[in-house]
């Protein structure tokens, strides 16, 4: 492996999405990530299909698309952590690791003798990161959580979707498990910060990441809109609550996303649509006034956009340096010239299918370049390799 973390070993005891997402980030950065899976069963997401990866004959494998999306670059080891042998193996792996990721229910690993204090007894400077739905303390600490319910509880669904009185109105979840993903991001940031601090103190740390905490933090500007005004943010569809015009607008052959971000851009936009007078109109000259007078500005923009096709408007607005874009389907994303140029989609070698497509990390380093040559592992694919390399016997599992 290459990358800035090629000297780091991660013991990944997590499954589903948030913990594995953190582990995949660390693997992309070059860390050796050892994914511990339940013997004979594996990560729950292995069964979250269809779709499943096809083998070279075109038949379904046991590798679901969901599992493949979050486990690139890791090594899979099957261990029964409920057994004494399995617990001894986990401790032996922890003794030679820098970071442990886990997302078991609160207290589970402690019952197996594998909690942070237990593992730090064999590796004093170990960084131990726990990822749970609600954190290690509080009235819901022992409850199970999934992304969907946390999107609801954390307020995200109250500001996502069309207004209740609009067609299709009502609360909506984001189309990807965004809280899981962001929880994994926060977990990765946390362990890297702990690594940096360990370089100064020589000591490990225990990190407590809760999905509900992350969802609350993710409210960002919507939270502050409420806290400074006392008003309750509501669903506004695609309309930005603070910056206008930012919305989806119909054009002659489809729709366009417009994202005007400041008054200078609005002046260029007004020229682009043939209404330079709008920039000099006191109702629209500043963002503050555009937000307040959106009810009259919006119909004007709709009328102007109706006369041309999407390709025409993206060209015209592009010439005027006005941020805009089409609404791509997922296949269209991978056909985008810029996405192709940045090589965000790559084929990795795979033992069952010959190759597996992978959406790789967006992080690009000039000196410590990342490499993408290890696909998501088969269940237990590396059990013997990993344990023997660490001086352990594979049969201890």
- Residues shown for the chain: 397
pLDDT tens digits for range 97-151: 999 999 999 999 999 999 999 999 999 999 999 999 999 999 999 999 999 999 9
- Within the chain, strands assigned E span 9-12, 32-38, 52-54, 60-64, 74-79, 99-102, 127-132, 205-210, 246-251, 254-259, 324-325, 345-350, 354-359
Statement to judge: residues 55 and 178 lie in one domain: yes
Same-domain check for residues 71 and 131? yes
Catalytic residue numbers read: 180
pLDDT, tens digit (0-9, with 9 covering 90-100), for 292-323: 999 999 999 999 999 999 999 999 999 999 99
Q: Is residue 102 part of a domain?
A: yes
pLDDT greater at residue 203 or residue 397? 203
Write out pLDDT tens, residues 256-287. Answer: 999 999 999 999 999 999 999 999 999 999 99
Mean of per-residue pLDDT scores for the chain:
96
Same domain, 328 and 349: no
CA distances to 36, 110, 294, 298 from 239, in Å: 44, 47, 10, 10
pTM above 0.75, yes or no: yes
- Check if the beta carbon of residue 49 is closer than 8 Å to that of residue 64: yes
How many structural domains are present in the chain? 2
Among 303, 333, 363, give the residue marking a domain's end.
Answer: 333
Answer whether the bond into residue 51 is a cis peptide, omega within 30°: yes
- Using pLDDT thresholds of 50, 70 and 90, give the confidence band for residue 390: confident
- β-bridge mates for residue 349, sequence order: 355
Considering the domain architecture, whether residues 319 and 389 belong to the same structural domain is answered as: no
Structure token pair of residue 49 = 């299909």
Statement: residue 22 has pLDDT above 70: yes
Q: What is the pLDDT of residues 54-88, one digit of tens each?
A: 999 999 999 999 999 999 999 999 999 999 999 99
Judged by DSSP in three states, 85 sits in: helix
Confidence of residue 1 (pLDDT cuts 50, 70, 90): low
Q: Which of 123, 17, 13 is nearest to 76 (CA)?
A: 13
pLDDT interval class at 397 (50, 70, 90): very low
Whether residue 203 is found in the same domain as residue 328: no
Query: Per the structure block, which two tokens stand in for 381?
Result: 């694919």
Last residue of a domain, one of 333, 357, 377: 333
Asked if residues 280 and 286 have their Cβ atoms less than 8 Å apart, the reply is no
Query: Would 3 be classed as within a structural domain?
Result: no
In a domain, 170, yes or no: yes
Note whether 185 and 256 are same-domain residues: no
Phi/psi at 251 (5° precision): -120, 180
For residue 72, what are the contacts with CB-CB under 8 A and spacing of at least 6?
A: 24, 27, 28, 348, 358, 360, 372, 374, 375, 376
Asked whether residue 379 is assigned to any structural domain, the reply reads: yes
Residue 127, strand partner residues: 99, 205
Q: Which of 279, 305, 333 is the last residue of a domain?
A: 333
Residue 223 inside a domain? The answer is no
Residues 170 and 193 in one domain: yes
In this prediction, residues 250-258 reach a mean pLDDT of 96
Token look-up 């204090």 returns 117
Same domain, yes or no: 350 and 305: no
Is the domain of 356 the same as that of 323?
Answer: no
Tell me whether residue 253 is in a domain.
Answer: yes
Would 14 be classed as within a structural domain?
yes
Query: Which CATH number characterizes residue 290's domain?
Result: 3.30.1540.10
153-188 per-position pLDDT tens digit: 999 999 999 999 998 899 999 999 999 999 999 999
pLDDT tens digits, residue range 215-229?
999 999 999 999 999
Residue 169: domain span: 9-217+345-396
Provide the pLDDT for residue 312: 97
Residue 391 pLDDT: 87
- pLDDT, one tens digit per residue, over 358-384 is 999 999 999 999 999 999 999 999 999
Question: Hey, how many other C-beta atoms are within 10 angstroms of the C-beta on 170?
Answer: 11
The confidence score (pLDDT) of residue 396 equals 42
Q: Are residues 198 and 57 in the same domain?
A: yes
* In a domain? residue 240: no
pLDDT of residue 394: 65
Same domain, 289 and 180: no
Cα→Cα distances 52→63, 118, 300, 349, 360, Å: 5, 38, 48, 16, 19
Same domain, 288 and 371: no
- Reported for 218-222, long-range contacts at CB under 8 A and 24+ positions apart, including other chains, are 218/154, 218/156, 218/178, 218/179, 218/182, 219/154, 219/155, 219/156, 219/159, 222/155, 222/159
- Please tell me the distance from the alpha carbon of residue 158 to that of residue 211, in angstroms, as a whole number: 17
| Cis peptide, bond prior to residue 331, ω within 30 of zero | no
Q: Report the CATH number that the domain containing residue 113 is assigned in CATH.
A: 3.40.50.10540
């Amino acid at each position: 492996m290459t990358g800035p973390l090629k000297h780091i070993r991660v013991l990944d005891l997590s499954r589903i999405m948030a913990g594995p997402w953190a582990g995949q980030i660390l693997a992309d950065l070059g860390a050796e990530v050892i994914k511990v899976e339940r013997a004979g069963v594996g990560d729950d997401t292995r069964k979250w299909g269809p779709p499943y990866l096809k083998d070279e004959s075109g038949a379904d494998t046991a590798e679901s698309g969901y599992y493949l999306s979050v486990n690139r670059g890791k090594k899979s080891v099957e261990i029964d952590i409920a057994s004494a042998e399995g617990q001894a193996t986990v401790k032996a792996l922890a003794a030679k690791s820098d970071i442990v990721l886990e997302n078991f229910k609160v207290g589970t690993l402690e019952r197996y003798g594998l909690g942070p204090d237990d593992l730090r007894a064999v590796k004093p400077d170990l960084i131990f990161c726990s990822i749970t739905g609600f954190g290690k303390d509080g009235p819901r600490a022992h409850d199970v959580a999934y992304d969907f319910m946390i999107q609801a509880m954390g307020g995200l669904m109250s500001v996502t979707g069309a207004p209740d009185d609009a067609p299709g109105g009502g609360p909506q979840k984001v189309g990807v498990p965004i809280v899981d993903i962001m929880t994994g991001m926060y977990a990765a940031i946390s362990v890297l910060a702990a690594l940096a601090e360990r370089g100064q103190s020589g000591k490990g740390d225990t990190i407590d990441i809760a999905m509900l905490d992350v969802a609350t933090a993710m409210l960002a500007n919507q939270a502050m809109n409420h806290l400074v005004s006392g008003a309750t943010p509501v669903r506004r569809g695609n309309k930005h609550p603070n910056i206008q015009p930012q919305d989806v607008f119909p054009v002659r052959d489809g729709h366009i996303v417009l994202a005007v971000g400041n008054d200078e851009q609005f002046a260029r936009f007004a020229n682009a649509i043939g209404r330079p007078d709008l920039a000099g109109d006191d109702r629209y000259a500043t963002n503050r006034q555009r937000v307040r007078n959106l009810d009259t500005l919006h119909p004007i923009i709709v009328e102007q956009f109706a006369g041309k096709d999407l390709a025409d408007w993206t060209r015209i607005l592009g010439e005027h340096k006005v941020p805009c874009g089409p609404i791509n389907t997922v296949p269209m994303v991978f056909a985008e010239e810029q996405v192709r140029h940045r090589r965000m989609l790559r084929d990795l070698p795979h033992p069952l299918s010959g190759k597996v497509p992978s959406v790789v990390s967006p992080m690009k380093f000039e000196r410590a370049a990342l490499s993408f040559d290890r696909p998501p592992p088969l269940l237990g694919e590396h059990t013997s390799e990993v344990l023997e390399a660490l001086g352990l016997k594979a049969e201890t599992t």
